[in-house]
Amino acid sequence: MSLKIFIGSSANGEDSPIESIYEYTLRKNSTQDLDITWMRQTNDSSSYWSNWKTEKWYTPFSGFRWGIAEACNFKGKALYTDTDMINLKDISELFLTNMKNKPFAARIAKRFNGFQPCVMLIDCYRAKGVLKSKADIASDADSHNIYMKQLIKKKRFFWKNAYFAELDKRWNCLDGEDLEISEMYQLHFTKMSTQPWKPSWYKGNTEEHQRKDILDLYYSLLEEASENGFKPDPQNKDNVIYNIIGK
């Protein structure tokens, strides 16, 4: 059985370089088949990912993660991640995480003062008892921010959080942190100003990434992915007009 992975990304090709690297490294390192769904805004009204209220989202895909359990018919496990990742370890091992009968699993960090659902393992059956229907979530622009406030908050003792079990932080290594590349499981370019591919929907200031070894890894894998058939295609555009807060 294939492992279900849902990746939130942009609609108009803005993130195609990192998409190429990420899918290539996921498939290269995995010992199991992967069923990858790219969650994008779309003009196709028949798509599960169309007609969502997005005006309070910070990215073009912020709230999609809360619709994944229903997309899986509330069965099995699924993994959500942002698109700005490089995989460095067999992702099937993440699926073996002991979720301790909780609907979600993620690492803890200061960034959101609690659990970080940018890499989030989902027990789809248990999530059914926590989340509203996809129709309700998609029609309410506040849904994402509400779930971020209600579900991820770190308690004094993290195991008292009723919704999240803890993942090893190496599965969501935020811009490298204090780890060598060889120690990382999954690298997350979480600081948007230093993302080397510079997505055009990001309107903030840009700067160089603080770690040369990570930049070297990015460019090396971009070339390797292209040579193996995972070539960026920024012209593959759906011409979606975003209605988001942005960053």
- In 31-181, DSSP assigns E strands to 34-39, 77-82, 85-87, 104-109, 114-123, 164-166, 173-174
Q: Total domain count for the chain?
A: 1
- Written as six digits, the tokens of 180 are 């060598």
What confidence score (pLDDT) does residue 246 get? 75
- Angle at which helices 212-227 and 16-29 pack, to 10 degrees? 80
Strands (E), 46-198: 77-82, 85-87, 104-109, 114-123, 164-166, 173-174, 186-188
The reported pLDDT for the residue numbered 160 is 62
User: Residue 178: what are its φ and ψ, rounded to 5°?
Assistant: -105, 20
pTM of the model: 0.95
Residue 175: CATH number of its domain: 3.90.550.10
- Tell me whether residue 223 is in a domain: yes
Domain range holding 207? 3-227
235 assigned to some structural domain: no
Residue 171 lies in a domain: yes
> Is residue 239 a part of any domain in this protein?
no
| DSSP H or E stretch at residue 136 | helix 134-138
- 143-to-52, 53, 104, 241 alpha-carbon distances in Å: 11, 9, 17, 21
Tens-level pLDDT at each residue, the chain (247 residues): 899 999 999 999 999 999 999 999 999 999 999 999 999 999 999 999 999 999 999 999 999 999 999 999 999 999 999 999 999 999 999 999 999 999 999 999 988 889 999 999 999 999 999 999 999 999 999 999 999 999 997 655 555 678 999 999 999 999 999 999 999 999 999 999 999 999 888 888 999 999 999 999 999 999 999 999 999 987 666 789 999 987 6
Give pLDDT, residue 201: 84
- The pLDDT of residue 237 is 67
Asked if residue 240 is part of any domain, the answer here is: no
**Which pLDDT belongs to residue 156?**
52
